[in-house]
Amino acid sequence: MLQRVKKKVLAVGKRWAKEFLLSWYYPRLYRKAAKQPVVPGKTIFLDNKESELPDSFQVLYDRLNYVPELQLEFMTLRETRVRFMQFFKNCVAFLREAATAEYLVLNDASNIVSCVQLRPETTAIQLWHGCGAFKKWGMSTADLIFGSSREQLLKHPYYKNLSLVTVSSSEVCWAYVEAMVLEDQPSTVRPIGVSRTDVFFDQKYLSRSRWHVYKAVPEVRGKKIIVYAPTFRGRVAKAQGPDELDIPAMKAALGDEYVLLVKHHPFVKKPPEIAPDCTDFAFDVSHTLSINELICCADICISDYSSLVFEYSLFERPMIFFAYDKADYDDWRGFYYDYEALTPGPVFTMTEDIIDYIEHIDERFDRAEVVAFKDKFMSACDGHATDRIIETVFGKAVLEASRAGAWDNVTDPLVSVIVPVCNAETHLRQCLDSIAGQTLEAIEIICVDDGSTDSSLDILYEYAARDPRMTVLTQDRRFAGVARNEGMRVARGKYLAFWDADDYFTLDALQKLYDKCESDGADVCVCGARQLFCDTGRIVHGKMYVVKRMVPDELPFNIDTTPDTILNFTTMTVWNKLFRREFVERRNLRFAASRSNNDVQFVVCALCTADAITVVPDDLVTYRRNQGVALTNSLERTPLDPVKTWIATKNELVERGVFPAASFSNRASSSLTYMLRNMRGYEGFAATAGYMRAVGADGLGIRVDDLTSDWQKAFFRTLYDEGVNEALAVMMHESYLRMLSHEAKVAELQGEVKRLKAAQKSAEAKA
């Protein structure tokens, strides 16, 4: 009984204190402090609760920090985080500083700012802490269970004195006007974007976010990530986290493929515990990872009534809404839109329905629904919201000064090195060291992980954390061609290099290639390469990468000057070439999506459409052969890919009107017969050769009479005139002759060695 009386007395005392402070003390304190002149450029960022700069301030704060005319200060009230007396002292300190500030930047409701008569020289900006308009807040909740009474909200407002409120799209302006009681000045609400969303367009931020997630929860490696981020229940002071999600059932059904990362609302002080037998599947990251980092990495997001779904829609990934208590929540707080009509994903009340949806997500996920939602509610969030906010509030001069801190304001590199990576942990460090150590330092390194299941991605994030020039992208297993296309999408370099993760490069490789392209005005530069045979460790010069007798004396050259050898002076590999990016984009060159030979079409079309091609004959690349992780070592799995690639390449050249018939015939013939000779089993050979026979010479683009190799000419004639087995006999005969030739050469070399040893002994005897 006595305890209840004490609580009531304390509550009454708090109400009286609040009334006194907001109505009299704080306004008087501010008026007295405001007698001092405004300090030009003084900018205060105010957070109600947190002690560290929150995500909602970070981007704008970092940008303005580059402007010497501005003096930035972050202040926090620590409301509900400290005892009342400390909170009171924090409010007093803030108001004294705010009285001489030129700018105030807020991210939440503030009756402290609203209770004073703000001096006209001060501009107050409300960035808000979320996007869109989901659950109701402010005056929209007046007289609901969650909200205060309309009388109280009008007596001590939270959104007075605002000069600008930034929102995510024009669609939601009305909700902010209603919630903030801005009907008399609706133009205060501007759909110029939400500053904090700019980071979602920054590839380096995305890479760092995934690295942080990997470090915090190593179990996510090799698995897909489900993020469960529910909003809180109850009032702010006693906020609770929901515990209705059946995590054990999710583990049983999804644990082999997914991990579950749980992020409770910051207001929740004691979140529900995860069952001990689920701690290898579900992880509470409420205090270790930010929501921004989580939504960057989430493959699926489960929420309920949280506004984070607006930000997550920028990634166009699946969302699930677990609204088991929607009716109660609607009565408690309410929504701005009809809940079922608004949500860009299925609404469930039972965990088993969530599990079923995830198990069939490939066929049930409707990306178009998410895109429509994004376009409607996030149209002003395009990676440049902070630019517009700075220009609107501070002017163009400050905007230009702040550009030094913009995520996209980096000097364009001279070369973009694009590296597809798939299970390359064995040699990846040697590759990355050779790239990072290039003497040409003005480069960017774009590594695209293609669904690695080993430690490759960890290694990439480790290097990216050390080298700001490096960006890490990820994709499900879609093979190297798609990975290279993805790298091209974000590349900014003047030139493009496509290097493989299992090779390594001389440290002056890019400098030599770049200098040669610049001096010759070339679209493509080709270099020599060495071959490292992993089974023996032997390194030899690869004469096929630059066939010197086929390179014209006069450089640069093109298809018009060298039509008969344009595809024969080098191989169709992409990693020994440098390409001018403007040329690649102008010619709309892209890599094929096939498992193997996905660079052939790109390289062939580049060589046939380039205005200028030049050569550096030096061996700048060391290419590994006879190993298991190479991107090109997949003939047995998809034997028809090379044939289909050459057919598609021929068709594209014909469409482009640049088909060098003789050169193409010899290049395609050499490539396809090389592939057939390296097949390990008869089944693969028979299937591939049979397909080639069915397609015919015209379909392949191979004119047999143009072939310069007698045995290849015999092979194709036999294949088309007689059959697969007869063609195999021709190939086996050629292989036998090569073996005999090899044995003869070995015998000759052995004889030479014996002769040299004998001569050496004779010389020693005479000495």
> In Å, how far are 273, 286, 450, 505, 581 from 523, measured between CA atoms?
60, 51, 28, 21, 8
Q: Which of 546, 523, 692 is nearest to 608 (CA)?
A: 523
pLDDT tens digits, residue range 423-448?
Answer: 999 999 999 999 999 999 999 999 99
Q: Which of 304, 354, 303, 310 is nearest to 328 (CA)?
A: 304
- Give the separation between CA 15 and CA 34, rounded to whole angstroms: 27
Residue 16 pLDDT:
83
Residues 6 or more apart in contact with residue 560 via CB below 8 angstroms: none
Q: Which residue blocks in 657-766 are alpha helix, DSSP H?
A: 661-677, 682-700, 710-721, 724-766
- Same fold for the pair 20-194 and 215-377: yes
Give the residues across from 43 on adjacent strands.
72, 103
Task: Report the amino acid identity of residue 738.
Answer: R
Residues 6 or more apart in contact with residue 752 via CB below 8 angstroms: none
CATH for 20-194, options being 3.90.1150.10, 3.40.50.11820, 3.40.630.30, 2.40.37.10: 3.40.50.11820
Residue 632 pLDDT:
40
DSSP 348-382: ESSHHHHHHHHHTHHHH--HHHHHHHHHHH-TT-S
Q: Which of 661, 567, 580 is nearest to 607 (CA)?
A: 567
Q: Which of 116, 100, 110, 127 is nearest to 48 (CA)?
A: 110
Is the pTM above the cut of 0.85?
no
- Give the separation between CA 456 and CA 427, rounded to whole angstroms: 10
- Give the separation between CA 170 and CA 376, rounded to whole angstroms: 8
Residue 630 pLDDT:
43
Residue 423 pLDDT:
94
Q: Contact at 8 Å (CB) between 230 and 306?
A: yes
Q: How many CA atoms lie within 13 A of 42 on its CB side?
A: 15
Q: What residue spans define the domains of the chain?
A: 20-194, 215-377, 417-634, 639-767
The CATH-assigned architecture of domain 417-634 is Alpha-Beta Complex (3.90)
Which pair of structure tokens corresponds to residue 104? 């105030």
Treating both helix axes as pointing N-terminal to C-terminal, what angle do 710-721 and 661-677 enclose, rounded to 10 degrees? 80
- Give the separation between CA 449 and CA 419, rounded to whole angstroms: 8
Residue 751 pLDDT:
62
- Give the separation between CA 653 and CA 69, rounded to whole angstroms: 58
Q: Which residues in the chain come in under a pLDDT of 70?
A: 1-13, 144-148, 234, 236-237, 330-333, 409-410, 627-637, 735-757, 759-760, 763, 766-767
Give 432-489 as a 3 state SS string: HHHHHCCCCCCEEEEEEEECCCCCHHHHHHHHHHHCCCEEEEEECCCHHHHHHHHHHH
Residue 333 pLDDT:
66
Which helix (H) or strand (E) segment is 67 a member of?
none
The CATH superfamily label for domain 215-377 reads CDP-glycerol glycerophosphotransferase, C-terminal domain (3.40.50.12580)
